[in-house]
Amino acid sequence: MPGSTSAPPRRKRRAIIIGGSMSGLFSAAFLRQIGWDADVYERSSVELVGRGAGITTHPELIEALEASGAGTADLGVEVPKRIAIDRNGNITGERPLRQILTSWDRLQRLLRATIDETHYHLGHAFERVDQDERGVRVTFAGGKVEHADLLIGGDGIRSSVRGQMAPELQPIYAGYYIWRGAPNEADLSPKTLKEIFPYFVFYLPPRQEVITYPISGFNNELTPGKRRYNFIWYRVADAQQMKEMNVDERGVQHEFSVPPPLIRRDLIAQMYADARDIMPEVMLDCVMTMKQPFITPIYDFTADRIVFGRVAMVGDAAANARPHMGFGVAKAGGDAMALARHLRDNEDIDTALKAYNAERQPIGNTIVMHSRKLGTHMGVNLKTEEDRRMHALLQSDEAMMDWIAVPNFLDAYK
Protein backbone atom coordinates (compact mmCIF):
# COMPACT_ATOMS: atom_id res chain seq x y z
CA MET A 1 0.00 0.00 0.00
CA PRO A 2 1.22 3.56 -0.66
CA GLY A 3 2.98 5.04 2.30
CA SER A 4 3.24 1.68 4.15
CA THR A 5 6.50 0.58 5.66
CA SER A 6 7.80 -2.86 6.40
CA ALA A 7 10.38 -4.04 8.87
CA PRO A 8 13.81 -4.62 7.40
CA PRO A 9 14.64 -8.29 6.90
CA ARG A 10 16.38 -9.85 9.85
CA ARG A 11 20.08 -10.40 9.43
CA LYS A 12 20.86 -14.04 8.75
CA ARG A 13 22.25 -15.62 11.85
CA ARG A 14 25.51 -17.51 11.92
CA ALA A 15 27.07 -20.26 14.02
CA ILE A 16 30.69 -21.31 14.23
CA ILE A 17 31.05 -25.01 14.99
CA ILE A 18 34.25 -26.42 16.42
CA GLY A 19 34.81 -30.08 15.51
CA GLY A 20 34.34 -31.73 12.13
CA SER A 21 33.10 -35.12 13.28
CA MET A 22 29.57 -36.32 14.06
CA SER A 23 28.52 -33.62 16.54
CA GLY A 24 29.73 -30.80 14.34
CA LEU A 25 28.20 -32.20 11.17
CA PHE A 26 24.83 -32.88 12.82
CA SER A 27 24.84 -29.34 14.21
CA ALA A 28 25.58 -27.80 10.82
CA ALA A 29 22.89 -29.85 9.09
CA PHE A 30 20.14 -28.94 11.54
CA LEU A 31 21.10 -25.25 11.73
CA ARG A 32 21.01 -24.89 7.97
CA GLN A 33 17.49 -26.31 7.99
CA ILE A 34 16.31 -23.41 10.18
CA GLY A 35 17.97 -20.81 7.96
CA TRP A 36 21.25 -20.23 9.78
CA ASP A 37 24.67 -20.03 8.23
CA ALA A 38 26.90 -22.65 9.86
CA ASP A 39 30.63 -23.09 9.36
CA VAL A 40 32.47 -26.13 10.68
CA TYR A 41 36.12 -25.80 11.73
CA GLU A 42 38.14 -28.99 12.19
CA ARG A 43 41.66 -28.96 13.61
CA SER A 44 42.85 -31.90 11.48
CA SER A 45 44.37 -30.83 8.19
CA VAL A 46 43.12 -33.98 6.45
CA GLU A 47 39.66 -35.47 6.05
CA LEU A 48 38.45 -37.55 8.98
CA VAL A 49 38.41 -41.07 7.60
CA GLY A 50 39.35 -44.44 9.04
CA ARG A 51 38.76 -43.32 12.63
CA GLY A 52 36.88 -45.57 15.01
CA ALA A 53 35.20 -48.83 14.17
CA GLY A 54 31.71 -50.23 14.76
CA ILE A 55 28.65 -48.33 15.99
CA THR A 56 25.34 -49.72 17.22
CA THR A 57 22.31 -47.92 15.83
CA HIS A 58 19.39 -46.79 17.98
CA PRO A 59 15.99 -45.34 17.06
CA GLU A 60 17.28 -41.91 18.12
CA LEU A 61 20.17 -42.17 15.65
CA ILE A 62 17.90 -43.26 12.79
CA GLU A 63 15.58 -40.33 13.53
CA ALA A 64 18.44 -37.84 13.58
CA LEU A 65 19.96 -39.14 10.35
CA GLU A 66 16.65 -38.94 8.52
CA ALA A 67 15.74 -35.52 9.94
CA SER A 68 19.17 -34.04 9.16
CA GLY A 69 19.01 -35.01 5.50
CA ALA A 70 21.89 -37.48 5.78
CA GLY A 71 19.50 -40.40 5.37
CA THR A 72 20.06 -44.05 6.17
CA ALA A 73 20.77 -45.58 2.77
CA ASP A 74 23.07 -48.59 3.02
CA LEU A 75 23.60 -47.74 6.66
CA GLY A 76 25.19 -51.00 7.72
CA VAL A 77 24.79 -54.71 8.37
CA GLU A 78 21.61 -56.04 9.98
CA VAL A 79 21.87 -58.87 12.50
CA PRO A 80 18.85 -60.99 13.48
CA LYS A 81 19.84 -61.81 17.04
CA ARG A 82 22.47 -61.71 19.77
CA ILE A 83 24.13 -64.77 21.26
CA ALA A 84 26.48 -65.53 24.13
CA ILE A 85 29.17 -68.20 23.96
CA ASP A 86 31.44 -69.90 26.49
CA ARG A 87 35.15 -70.78 26.48
CA ASN A 88 34.45 -73.78 24.24
CA GLY A 89 32.42 -71.75 21.77
CA ASN A 90 29.12 -73.28 22.85
CA ILE A 91 26.06 -71.01 22.79
CA THR A 92 24.94 -70.27 26.36
CA GLY A 93 22.04 -67.99 25.50
CA GLU A 94 20.42 -65.98 22.73
CA ARG A 95 17.99 -63.15 22.24
CA PRO A 96 16.10 -62.24 19.06
CA LEU A 97 16.95 -58.59 18.41
CA ARG A 98 17.21 -57.12 14.94
CA GLN A 99 19.77 -54.32 14.88
CA ILE A 100 21.70 -52.47 12.20
CA LEU A 101 25.41 -52.25 12.98
CA THR A 102 27.18 -49.48 11.18
CA SER A 103 30.64 -47.93 11.22
CA TRP A 104 32.14 -44.57 12.09
CA ASP A 105 33.31 -44.16 8.50
CA ARG A 106 29.83 -44.74 7.07
CA LEU A 107 28.19 -42.20 9.37
CA GLN A 108 30.93 -39.66 8.72
CA ARG A 109 30.41 -39.98 4.97
CA LEU A 110 26.63 -39.67 5.20
CA LEU A 111 26.85 -36.55 7.34
CA ARG A 112 29.77 -35.05 5.46
CA ALA A 113 27.64 -35.09 2.30
CA THR A 114 25.11 -32.74 3.95
CA ILE A 115 27.51 -29.78 4.14
CA ASP A 116 28.79 -27.60 1.34
CA GLU A 117 32.54 -27.75 0.89
CA THR A 118 32.81 -23.98 1.36
CA HIS A 119 31.45 -24.30 4.91
CA TYR A 120 33.77 -27.09 6.08
CA HIS A 121 37.24 -25.90 7.02
CA LEU A 122 40.13 -28.27 7.73
CA GLY A 123 43.32 -27.31 9.55
CA HIS A 124 41.80 -24.77 11.95
CA ALA A 125 42.65 -25.32 15.62
CA PHE A 126 40.42 -23.46 18.07
CA GLU A 127 42.36 -21.16 20.37
CA ARG A 128 39.82 -19.09 22.31
CA VAL A 129 36.41 -17.43 22.28
CA ASP A 130 35.39 -13.99 23.53
CA GLN A 131 31.76 -12.99 23.75
CA ASP A 132 29.44 -10.08 24.47
CA GLU A 133 25.76 -9.28 23.99
CA ARG A 134 26.23 -9.26 20.20
CA GLY A 135 27.73 -12.72 19.88
CA VAL A 136 31.11 -14.43 19.80
CA ARG A 137 34.58 -13.67 18.51
CA VAL A 138 36.48 -16.90 17.83
CA THR A 139 40.26 -16.96 17.45
CA PHE A 140 42.09 -19.84 15.79
CA ALA A 141 45.75 -20.81 15.94
CA GLY A 142 47.63 -18.64 13.49
CA GLY A 143 45.52 -15.59 14.26
CA LYS A 144 42.42 -16.18 12.11
CA VAL A 145 39.35 -14.55 13.70
CA GLU A 146 35.68 -15.23 12.96
CA HIS A 147 32.53 -13.57 14.34
CA ALA A 148 29.13 -15.19 14.82
CA ASP A 149 25.98 -15.18 16.91
CA LEU A 150 26.82 -18.55 18.48
CA LEU A 151 29.72 -20.91 19.04
CA ILE A 152 29.03 -24.64 19.20
CA GLY A 153 31.56 -26.93 20.85
CA GLY A 154 31.29 -30.27 19.07
CA ASP A 155 34.92 -31.26 19.52
CA GLY A 156 34.60 -34.41 21.58
CA ILE A 157 35.56 -35.63 25.02
CA ARG A 158 38.80 -33.57 25.05
CA SER A 159 36.97 -30.45 23.87
CA SER A 160 39.15 -27.35 23.59
CA VAL A 161 36.00 -25.22 23.80
CA ARG A 162 34.94 -26.83 27.08
CA GLY A 163 38.53 -26.53 28.28
CA GLN A 164 38.15 -22.74 28.15
CA MET A 165 34.55 -22.45 29.33
CA ALA A 166 34.62 -25.09 32.10
CA PRO A 167 38.20 -26.25 32.77
CA GLU A 168 37.04 -28.00 35.93
CA LEU A 169 35.11 -30.55 33.85
CA GLN A 170 37.74 -33.20 33.24
CA PRO A 171 37.09 -36.74 31.95
CA ILE A 172 37.50 -39.42 34.63
CA TYR A 173 39.27 -42.70 33.91
CA ALA A 174 36.88 -45.61 34.51
CA GLY A 175 39.51 -48.19 35.49
CA TYR A 176 39.34 -50.24 32.31
CA TYR A 177 40.08 -50.02 28.60
CA ILE A 178 39.32 -51.73 25.29
CA TRP A 179 41.42 -53.61 22.80
CA ARG A 180 39.73 -52.99 19.46
CA GLY A 181 40.06 -54.08 15.89
CA ALA A 182 38.04 -54.96 12.80
CA PRO A 183 39.39 -57.99 10.93
CA ASN A 184 38.33 -58.45 7.33
CA GLU A 185 35.59 -60.98 6.68
CA ALA A 186 37.77 -62.57 4.00
CA ASP A 187 40.51 -63.29 6.54
CA LEU A 188 38.31 -65.17 9.01
CA SER A 189 37.99 -68.94 9.12
CA PRO A 190 34.90 -70.75 7.78
CA LYS A 191 34.08 -71.79 11.35
CA THR A 192 34.13 -68.19 12.56
CA LEU A 193 32.04 -67.03 9.62
CA LYS A 194 29.43 -69.69 10.29
CA GLU A 195 29.21 -69.61 14.07
CA ILE A 196 29.53 -65.94 15.05
CA PHE A 197 29.98 -63.58 12.10
CA PRO A 198 26.23 -63.11 11.37
CA TYR A 199 25.40 -62.15 14.97
CA PHE A 200 25.93 -59.71 17.81
CA VAL A 201 28.03 -61.91 20.10
CA PHE A 202 29.01 -61.81 23.79
CA TYR A 203 31.80 -63.68 25.54
CA LEU A 204 32.23 -62.87 29.23
CA PRO A 205 35.32 -64.17 31.00
CA PRO A 206 35.76 -62.94 34.62
CA ARG A 207 36.09 -59.13 34.84
CA GLN A 208 36.25 -58.90 31.06
CA GLU A 209 33.78 -58.38 28.26
CA VAL A 210 34.13 -59.32 24.60
CA ILE A 211 31.58 -58.10 22.07
CA THR A 212 31.70 -58.76 18.33
CA TYR A 213 29.46 -57.95 15.36
CA PRO A 214 29.66 -57.44 11.57
CA ILE A 215 30.10 -54.02 9.98
CA SER A 216 30.68 -52.77 6.46
CA GLY A 217 34.09 -53.03 4.84
CA PHE A 218 36.20 -50.16 3.63
CA ASN A 219 34.40 -47.63 1.41
CA ASN A 220 31.14 -48.84 2.95
CA GLU A 221 31.44 -52.22 1.26
CA LEU A 222 28.43 -54.37 2.19
CA THR A 223 29.07 -57.23 -0.23
CA PRO A 224 29.42 -60.59 1.56
CA GLY A 225 33.07 -61.46 1.74
CA LYS A 226 34.16 -57.81 1.80
CA ARG A 227 32.77 -56.74 5.17
CA ARG A 228 34.58 -56.49 8.52
CA TYR A 229 33.97 -57.88 12.00
CA ASN A 230 34.06 -55.39 14.85
CA PHE A 231 35.96 -56.76 17.87
CA ILE A 232 35.75 -55.11 21.32
CA TRP A 233 37.59 -56.53 24.35
CA TYR A 234 37.14 -54.76 27.70
CA ARG A 235 39.94 -55.30 30.22
CA VAL A 236 40.77 -53.89 33.65
CA ALA A 237 43.81 -51.70 34.31
CA ASP A 238 44.36 -49.22 37.14
CA ALA A 239 45.51 -45.67 36.47
CA GLN A 240 49.20 -46.49 36.91
CA GLN A 241 48.97 -49.45 34.53
CA MET A 242 47.17 -47.28 31.99
CA LYS A 243 49.87 -44.64 32.25
CA GLU A 244 52.51 -47.28 31.51
CA MET A 245 50.48 -48.55 28.54
CA ASN A 246 50.39 -44.99 27.21
CA VAL A 247 54.14 -45.05 26.61
CA ASP A 248 54.55 -45.62 22.90
CA GLU A 249 57.02 -47.65 20.83
CA ARG A 250 59.48 -44.72 20.84
CA GLY A 251 59.33 -44.31 24.62
CA VAL A 252 57.15 -41.19 24.47
CA GLN A 253 54.56 -40.79 27.25
CA HIS A 254 51.06 -39.91 26.00
CA GLU A 255 48.53 -38.35 28.33
CA PHE A 256 45.41 -40.16 27.20
CA SER A 257 46.03 -42.75 24.48
CA VAL A 258 48.62 -43.86 21.95
CA PRO A 259 47.99 -43.55 18.17
CA PRO A 260 47.45 -47.09 16.83
CA PRO A 261 50.64 -47.29 14.72
CA LEU A 262 52.73 -46.39 17.79
CA ILE A 263 51.30 -48.93 20.26
CA ARG A 264 54.21 -50.88 21.73
CA ARG A 265 54.86 -54.27 20.17
CA ASP A 266 55.32 -55.87 23.61
CA LEU A 267 51.76 -54.82 24.55
CA ILE A 268 50.36 -56.32 21.37
CA ALA A 269 52.37 -59.51 21.92
CA GLN A 270 51.02 -59.79 25.48
CA MET A 271 47.49 -59.21 24.22
CA TYR A 272 47.90 -62.06 21.74
CA ALA A 273 49.27 -64.31 24.50
CA ASP A 274 46.37 -63.49 26.82
CA ALA A 275 43.91 -64.16 24.02
CA ARG A 276 45.39 -67.60 23.42
CA ASP A 277 44.82 -68.40 27.10
CA ILE A 278 41.16 -67.42 27.36
CA MET A 279 39.47 -66.96 23.98
CA PRO A 280 37.16 -69.45 22.26
CA GLU A 281 38.59 -70.62 18.96
CA VAL A 282 36.33 -68.39 16.86
CA MET A 283 37.21 -65.26 18.82
CA LEU A 284 40.90 -66.07 18.87
CA ASP A 285 40.62 -66.23 15.10
CA CYS A 286 39.31 -62.63 15.15
CA VAL A 287 42.14 -61.44 17.39
CA MET A 288 44.89 -63.04 15.35
CA THR A 289 43.60 -61.59 12.06
CA MET A 290 43.27 -57.97 13.24
CA LYS A 291 45.57 -55.85 11.07
CA GLN A 292 46.12 -53.05 13.59
CA PRO A 293 44.72 -53.66 17.09
CA PHE A 294 44.41 -50.47 19.11
CA ILE A 295 43.68 -49.42 22.68
CA THR A 296 40.86 -47.15 23.85
CA PRO A 297 41.03 -46.12 27.54
CA ILE A 298 37.51 -45.57 28.92
CA TYR A 299 36.69 -42.16 30.39
CA ASP A 300 33.48 -40.36 31.22
CA PHE A 301 32.19 -37.16 32.81
CA THR A 302 28.95 -35.39 33.64
CA ALA A 303 28.32 -31.65 33.40
CA ASP A 304 26.19 -29.33 35.52
CA ARG A 305 25.54 -27.14 32.48
CA ILE A 306 26.18 -27.28 28.74
CA VAL A 307 25.60 -23.62 27.82
CA PHE A 308 28.00 -20.80 28.69
CA GLY A 309 26.60 -17.52 27.43
CA ARG A 310 26.63 -17.80 23.64
CA VAL A 311 28.62 -21.06 23.71
CA ALA A 312 26.71 -24.35 23.53
CA MET A 313 28.21 -27.83 23.88
CA VAL A 314 26.92 -30.84 21.96
CA GLY A 315 27.68 -34.57 21.88
CA ASP A 316 30.67 -35.94 23.78
CA ALA A 317 31.88 -32.40 24.48
CA ALA A 318 28.75 -31.81 26.57
CA ALA A 319 28.79 -35.09 28.53
CA ASN A 320 30.62 -38.27 27.67
CA ALA A 321 29.30 -41.73 28.50
CA ARG A 322 31.13 -45.03 28.52
CA PRO A 323 30.52 -46.95 25.30
CA HIS A 324 28.44 -49.82 26.72
CA MET A 325 25.23 -48.54 25.06
CA GLY A 326 26.80 -47.61 21.72
CA PHE A 327 24.88 -44.35 22.06
CA GLY A 328 27.48 -41.63 21.49
CA VAL A 329 26.51 -40.69 17.93
CA ALA A 330 22.80 -40.97 18.74
CA LYS A 331 23.33 -38.50 21.59
CA ALA A 332 25.20 -36.13 19.26
CA GLY A 333 22.30 -36.18 16.81
CA GLY A 334 19.76 -35.65 19.57
CA ASP A 335 21.69 -32.71 21.03
CA ALA A 336 22.08 -31.01 17.64
CA MET A 337 18.44 -31.54 16.71
CA ALA A 338 17.23 -30.11 20.04
CA LEU A 339 19.52 -27.09 19.80
CA ALA A 340 18.24 -26.21 16.33
CA ARG A 341 14.63 -26.70 17.41
CA HIS A 342 14.96 -24.26 20.30
CA LEU A 343 16.73 -21.71 18.09
CA ARG A 344 13.92 -22.03 15.57
CA ASP A 345 11.15 -21.68 18.14
CA ASN A 346 12.65 -18.77 20.11
CA GLU A 347 13.41 -15.44 18.49
CA ASP A 348 15.81 -14.62 21.32
CA ILE A 349 18.99 -16.70 21.10
CA ASP A 350 19.69 -16.59 24.82
CA THR A 351 16.20 -17.84 25.63
CA ALA A 352 16.70 -20.65 23.11
CA LEU A 353 20.02 -21.66 24.66
CA LYS A 354 18.49 -21.69 28.13
CA ALA A 355 15.75 -24.02 26.89
CA TYR A 356 18.34 -26.24 25.17
CA ASN A 357 20.35 -26.53 28.39
CA ALA A 358 17.21 -27.37 30.37
CA GLU A 359 16.28 -30.16 27.98
CA ARG A 360 19.58 -31.81 27.09
CA GLN A 361 21.85 -31.35 30.12
CA PRO A 362 19.78 -33.74 32.31
CA ILE A 363 19.51 -36.26 29.46
CA GLY A 364 23.26 -36.22 28.91
CA ASN A 365 23.94 -36.90 32.56
CA THR A 366 21.35 -39.68 32.64
CA ILE A 367 23.10 -41.38 29.74
CA VAL A 368 26.42 -41.16 31.59
CA MET A 369 24.95 -42.57 34.80
CA HIS A 370 23.34 -45.44 32.89
CA SER A 371 26.67 -46.26 31.27
CA ARG A 372 28.25 -46.41 34.72
CA LYS A 373 25.62 -48.93 35.77
CA LEU A 374 26.56 -51.14 32.84
CA GLY A 375 30.23 -50.65 33.63
CA THR A 376 29.79 -52.30 37.02
CA HIS A 377 30.04 -55.60 35.17
CA MET A 378 33.81 -55.07 35.17
CA GLY A 379 33.94 -55.06 38.99
CA VAL A 380 35.85 -51.76 39.23
CA ASN A 381 35.15 -49.09 41.90
CA LEU A 382 32.00 -50.67 43.29
CA LYS A 383 31.39 -47.97 45.89
CA THR A 384 27.71 -48.36 46.74
CA GLU A 385 25.30 -51.16 47.48
CA GLU A 386 23.54 -50.37 44.21
CA ASP A 387 26.85 -50.77 42.37
CA ARG A 388 27.36 -54.16 43.94
CA ARG A 389 23.81 -55.30 43.15
CA MET A 390 24.20 -54.23 39.54
CA HIS A 391 27.56 -55.96 39.29
CA ALA A 392 26.03 -59.19 40.59
CA LEU A 393 23.12 -58.93 38.13
CA LEU A 394 25.42 -58.41 35.15
CA GLN A 395 27.50 -61.51 35.80
CA SER A 396 25.06 -63.61 33.80
CA ASP A 397 25.14 -63.88 30.02
CA GLU A 398 21.38 -63.37 29.88
CA ALA A 399 21.50 -60.08 31.78
CA MET A 400 24.28 -58.71 29.61
CA MET A 401 22.34 -59.53 26.46
CA ASP A 402 19.33 -57.75 27.96
CA TRP A 403 21.23 -54.61 29.04
CA ILE A 404 24.18 -53.90 26.72
CA ALA A 405 23.55 -51.73 23.62
CA VAL A 406 19.79 -52.28 23.68
CA PRO A 407 17.40 -49.75 22.12
CA ASN A 408 15.04 -47.50 24.09
CA PHE A 409 16.97 -47.73 27.37
CA LEU A 410 16.14 -44.10 28.14
CA ASP A 411 12.44 -44.95 28.43
CA ALA A 412 13.10 -46.27 31.93
CA TYR A 413 14.09 -42.76 33.06
CA LYS A 414 11.04 -40.93 31.76
Spatial distance between the Cα atoms of 278 and 267, rounded to a whole number of angstroms: 17
Helix H or strand E segment including 174: strand 172-181
pLDDT in tens, 95-115: 999 999 998 888 988 999 999
| pTM (2 d.p.) | 0.92
Spatial distance between the Cα atoms of 201 and 192, rounded to a whole number of angstroms: 12
Q: What is the model's pLDDT at position 10? A: 61
- How many Å is the Cα radius of gyration of the chain? 22
Check pLDDT > 80 for residue 160.
yes
pLDDT in tens, 178-217: 999 999 999 999 999 999 999 999 999 999 999 999 999 8
Q: What is the model's pLDDT at position 53? A: 73
CA-based end-to-end distance of the chain: 53
Q: What is the model's pLDDT at position 134? A: 85
Q: What is the model's pLDDT at position 7? A: 42
> pLDDT-derived band of residue 132, with 50, 70 and 90 as boundaries?
confident
H helices of 376-396, in order, are: 385-393
Check pLDDT > 70 for residue 5.
no
Q: What is the model's pLDDT at position 389? A: 97
pLDDT in tens, 6-48: 444 567 899 999 998 999 999 999 999 999 999 999 998 666 6
CA-to-CA separations, 62 to 30, 65, 72, 77, 407, in angstroms, rounded = 15, 5, 7, 14, 11
Helix H or strand E segment including 188: none
Q: What is the model's pLDDT at position 357? A: 98
pLDDT in tens, 344-380: 999 999 999 999 999 999 999 999 999 999 999 999 9
In the predicted model, what is the mean pLDDT of residues 153-182?
Answer: 96
Q: What is the model's pLDDT at position 256? A: 86
Q: What is the model's pLDDT at position 48? A: 62
Spatial distance between the Cα atoms of 367 and 375, rounded to a whole number of angstroms: 12
Q: What are the DSSP calls for 309-369, one per residue?
A: TTEEE-GGGT-B--GGG--HHHHHHHHHHHHHHHHHH-SSHHHHHHHHHHHHHHHHHHHHH
Q: What is the model's pLDDT at position 52? A: 57
Q: What is the model's pLDDT at position 409? A: 94
C-alpha dihedral, 399 to 402 to 406 to 410, nearest 10°: -80
Q: What is the model's pLDDT at position 263? A: 94
Q: What is the model's pLDDT at position 8? A: 46
Length of the chain in terms of residues written? 414
With CA atoms as reference, report the closest residue to 29 among 359, 352, 336, 342.
336
Enumerate domains of the chain plus CATH numbers: 14-51+107-171+303-413 (3.50.50.60), 77-103+173-299 (3.30.9.60)
In the predicted model, what is the mean pLDDT of residues 323-352?
Answer: 96
Sheet containing strand 294-300, edge to edge, reads 54-56, 91-103, 77-85, 200-203, 209-215, 228-236, 172-181, 294-300
In the predicted model, what is the mean pLDDT of residues 327-348?
Answer: 96
Check if the beta carbon of residue 44 is closer than 8 Å to that of residue 122.
yes
pLDDT in tens, 249-282: 999 999 888 988 999 999 999 999 999 999 999 9
% the chain with pLDDT above 70: 96
Sheet containing strand 120-121, edge to edge, reads 120-121, 37-41, 14-18, 150-153, 311-313, 307-308
Check pLDDT > 90 for residue 337.
yes
Give the strand pairing for 120-121 and 150-153: unpaired
Q: At 147, is the secondary structure helix, strand, or coil?
A: strand
Mean pLDDT across the chain: 93
Check pLDDT > 60 for residue 219.
yes
Q: What is the model's pLDDT at position 291? A: 83
